[in-house]
Amino acid sequence: MRILSEKGVLSGVADVVPEVANAVATKYSVERFLSYQELLKSDIDAVVIVTPTDTHEKIASDAIRAGKHVLLEKPMTGSSEKLRLLTALARDKKVVLAGGFTERYNPIVDFAHRSLHAGEFGELITAATRRVSSLPTRIRDVGVVMDLGVHDIDVIQYVVGRRANSVYALGGQGKSMKYEDHANILIDFEGGTTGFIEVNWLTPMKVRKLALTCSKNFVEVDYMDQAANVCSSSFRHFESGNLFNVPIDVDLRRISLKKEEPLKRELADFLSVAASGKDPLVSGESAISTLKIAEAALESLRTGKKVQVE
Ligand SMILES: NC(=O)c1ccc[n+]([C@@H]2O[C@H](COP(=O)([O-])OP(=O)(O)OC[C@H]3O[C@@H](n4cnc5c(N)ncnc54)[C@H](O)[C@@H]3O)[C@@H](O)[C@H]2O)c1
């Protein structure tokens, strides 16, 4: 609401909790509705749906049927089949359906993707992420794979640029939880590239990192700092009888970008495609394959087996 209000495009807010609806409507001087159905009747072009995941499919399909462009928070519907139907509905009604996979709008992800695809780092061998922090109090309807892991599945798919063949995952759930709270996910992509995701709600520290092991460079990206270390190395002459002292020249290049708020870029993209009818950076279609990988990871967690991605 803060960003949309700054952009001068915010016209109203709906929340089922009257205190919430009243407070934010007053703060941003916009109309307030106590149901999204009422909001959809008003003269607006687009909606951003930021409710709990298990409400997404119903609210988004009603909004699309009402002819509104939709930005739907990740993980969009939480089921690839439901998302496939929703995407088809959006296409049919000729409205934009964009996915709120905010990390894709992080400028450092842009940098990594561009450099990789220009061949600057050599061939990508493994893309590995670590997204760990402590338990949020707000998420009650999905586990850590659908809440946090989907960001990294989306980013890894984007940088790898190939289809996933299969997924193997290990993890589990804390005693007090209905869903998994930690997972380690291994993804086998076409062409032999490996994806690896460590995600949890158990760690006291918040870490958000992506590492790209490539044939020329090792690249460590920090999503929060919006910075990357690009490393390469070469051996100097060494004595074959002395492997304790192997002289190695390490070249480390630090890329530090001017920080930009990923959510601001996401909303700017949504407003621009809603006006032009073009595809958003994260479309419903691209999120379907993200959800298929997340579903395969959850099935692998349940069965202990490697799961093919359909
Ligand atoms: N992209 C990101 O980085 C990011 C970050 C945080 C949350 N999210 C996503 O945003 C969504 C919401 O998460 P949250 O943490 O803000 O949840 P929350 O529970 O804190 O807030 C959701 C709000 O939706 C309201 N609501 C619930 N049902 C409603 C309905 N039927 N109609 C209108 N209002 C309704 C609730 O009253 C509440 O005010 C989730 O899908 C989550 O995955 C994305």
Domain ranges of the chain: 2-102+264-283, 103-261+290-308
* Ligand 1 atom 28: residue of nearest CA: 51
d(CA 15, ligand 1 centre) in Å: 10
Structure tokens at 99: 């996915």
Question: According to the model, what pLDDT value does residue 213 have?
Answer: 98
CA 92 to ligand 1 centroid distance, Å: 27
| Binding-site residues, ligand 1, Cβ < 6 A | 14-17, 20, 36, 50-53, 55, 73-74, 100, 102, 138, 147
Taking the centre of ligand 1 as the mean of its atom positions, its distance from the CA of residue 139, in whole angstroms, is 8
Q: What is the CATH T-level fold of the domain 2-102+264-283, as seen in this structure?
A: Rossmann fold (3.40.50)
Residue with tokens 């991605």: 309
pLDDT value of residue 241: 85
Which atom of ligand 1 is least distant from the CA of 59?
31
Mutate to test the pocket of ligand 1, among 17, 33, 49, 51 (most ligand atoms within 8 A of CB): 51
Q: Which atom of ligand 1 is nearest to the CA of 51?
A: 24
Q: How many Cβ atoms sit within 10 Å of the Cβ of residue 231?
A: 14
d(CA 111, CA 233): 21
| Beta carbons of 152 and 106 less than 8 angstroms apart | no
Q: Evaluate the omega torsion of the peptide bond into residue 136 and state whether it is cis, within 30 degrees of 0.
A: no
Strands (E) in the chain, as ranges, are 12-14, 31-33, 46-49, 69-73, 97-100, 124-134, 164-172, 182-189, 194-200, 202-214, 218-222, 227-235, 248-256, 307-308
Each residue's pLDDT tens digit in the chain (310 positions)? 999 999 999 999 999 999 999 999 999 999 999 999 999 999 999 999 999 999 999 999 999 999 999 999 999 998 999 999 999 999 999 999 999 999 999 999 999 999 999 999 999 999 999 999 987 776 678 899 999 999 999 999 999 999 999 999 999 987 667 899 999 999 999 999 999 999 999 999 999 999 999 999 999 999 999 999 999 988 887 788 888 888 888 899 999 999 999 999 999 999 999 999 899 999 999 999 999 999 999 999 999 999 999 8
Distance from Cα 237 to the centre of ligand 1, integer Å? 58
HEC profile for 201-242? CEEEEEEEEEEEEECCCEEEEECCCCEEEEEEEEECCCCCCC
Residue among 101, 197, 118, 199 nearest 161 (CA): 118
Question: Is-same-fold flag (2-102+264-283; 103-261+290-308)?
Answer: no
Q: Which fold has domain 103-261+290-308?
A: Dihydrodipicolinate Reductase; domain 2 (3.30.360)
